[in-house]
Amino acid sequence: MNQYNLDFSDRNVLVTGASRGIGRATAQMFARHGARVIVHFHSNRKAAEETLQLLDSEQHVLLSADLRNPAAAAGLVESSVAAVGGIDVLVNNAGVFEEHQVTKVDYESWQASWTRILNANLMGPANLIHQVVPHMRKQGGGRIVNVSSRGAFRGEPSAPAYGASKAGLNAMGQSLAKALGGEGIYVFTVAPGWVETDMAARELESPLGEEVRQQSPLGRVARPEEIAWTILLLAAPGSEFMTGCIVDVNGASYLRS
């Protein structure tokens, strides 16, 4: 029977959106447990290089790609495989959030927001998975962890495309868990609530910040490291029978039946 083994010293892990926040913490978590990490970023090279320095080893790789572009997503997988020899774990963390309330934006802005968000948050991960699966099959298996959001369940009235993209990510993960489980490729989803990241800083530092923190009985929001720890556990041997799961990591701020 498989036992949990948190030694990733023979594993290559691609973490998208690893320049900061959850992605940076996840890259650090895997590196701390011995993995060779491919640190992906879109445009913030300085922040990505800071992540790379925090990993404290020369074995890790830094790669850039705009995952809204299907060709760039495919290129990221090929560059990763060329750099390290394969991908054992894919963490689909990169994503965007922008407000586009239906009663407050014009039609052109509405269309643009939906296109940007769906391409980044849903099509980007879908394209990466399509491209990484042949490599995982050749290796005899792999792990895919998608980073979703509680917004997929509770709704995002000021950013409906964001909520829809994360709901789509959830459904895609479940579908692919069924499609790929027999190949030894396991697919998991993590759904955080509020997390202490740059993306959330404006709201958390505003007068609404305390109200947000009190949504959880713990009286705070999650630390990026807590999300990263959950991702690490799902990627570890022993979690196979959790394939298809959606793990809520929101401090009981939103409970779904």
In whole angstroms, give the CA distance from residue 212 to residue 194: 8
Buried b or exposed e, range 33-51, using 16+ CB within 10 angstroms: bebbbbbbbbeeeebbeeb
CB 38 within 8 A of CB 16: no
The structure tokens listed for 238 are 């022993």
57 pLDDT band (50/70/90 cuts)? confident
Q: What is the mean pLDDT of the chain?
A: 96
DSSP per position, the chain? --------TT-EEEETTTTSHHHHHHHHHHHHTT-EEEEEESS-HHHHHHHHHHT--TT-EEEE--TTSHHHHHHHHHHHHHHHS--SEEEE---------TTTS-HHHHHHHHHHHHIIIIIHHHHHHHHHHHHHHHHT-EEEEEE--THHHH--TT-HHHHHHHHHHHHHHHHHHHHHGGGTEEEEEEEE-SBSSHHHHHHHTSTTHHHHHTTSTTSSPBPHHHHHHHHHHHHSTT-GGGTT-EEEESTTSS---
Give per-residue pLDDT as tens, 233-242: 999 999 999 9
203 pLDDT band (50/70/90 cuts)? confident
Share of the chain above pLDDT 90, in %: 92
Give per-residue pLDDT as tens, 13-40: 999 999 999 999 999 999 999 999 999 9
The structure tokens listed for 247 are 């793990």
Give per-residue pLDDT as tens, 89-146: 999 999 999 999 999 999 999 999 999 999 999 999 999 999 999 999 999 999 999 9
The structure tokens listed for 88 are 């054992």
Catalytic residue among 4, 107, 162, 186: 162
1 pLDDT band (50/70/90 cuts)? very low
CB 16 within 8 A of CB 79: no
- Domains of the chain are 12-249 (3.40.50.720)
Residue 162: active-site member: yes
Could you tell me the pTM of the whole model? 0.96
Query: In the prediction, which pLDDT does 197 show?
Result: 86
CB 36 within 8 A of CB 61: yes
